[in-house]
Amino acid sequence: MSDAKVLDSWALLCYLEQESGFEKIIQVFEEAVNDSRPLLMTVINWGEVYYQVVRRYGEDRAREIERLMGSFPIILVDIDRNLTREAALMKATKKMAYADCFAAALAKQRKAELYTGDPEFKSVEKEIKILWL
């Protein structure tokens, strides 16, 4: 297991909405800054956060959140063929949303821990380490 940590969209939306578990995300952010080890998130999962904010609050608010997210200790990971293949294999064999498969595939590829509260990730608990919020 590497020291890398992956966020899925659920985790970031939890923080932005200050839902139950958001304090844990604050702690994760602080640890990332203190350890100089930014968190990882795929651009697919970032896009999921963006569209959820647009749906709930409109595009102006989504742009504000985009600027705010730029200050977070998160590195956005672009999608390549290998990551897409891993996500596609997960989607074909697990009951998970396709975007969630990208977060899980990134965690698997990087041997990272994944922060989420989304119960869909229970189906990959044997393949990757899930840190439940």
Instruction: Dump pLDDT digits (tens) for 110-132.
Output: 999 999 999 999 999 999 999 99
Domain 5-132 is found in CATH 3.50.50.60: no
pTM, two decimal places: 0.93
Tens of pLDDT, residue by residue over 43-69, are 999 999 999 999 999 999 999 999 999
pLDDT at 3 over 90: no
Q: Give me the residue spans of the domains in the chain.
A: 5-132
To the nearest whole number, what is the mean pLDDT of the chain? 95
pLDDT at 1 over 70: no
CA distances from 131 to 28, 37, 65, 74, 89 (A): 11, 17, 24, 17, 22
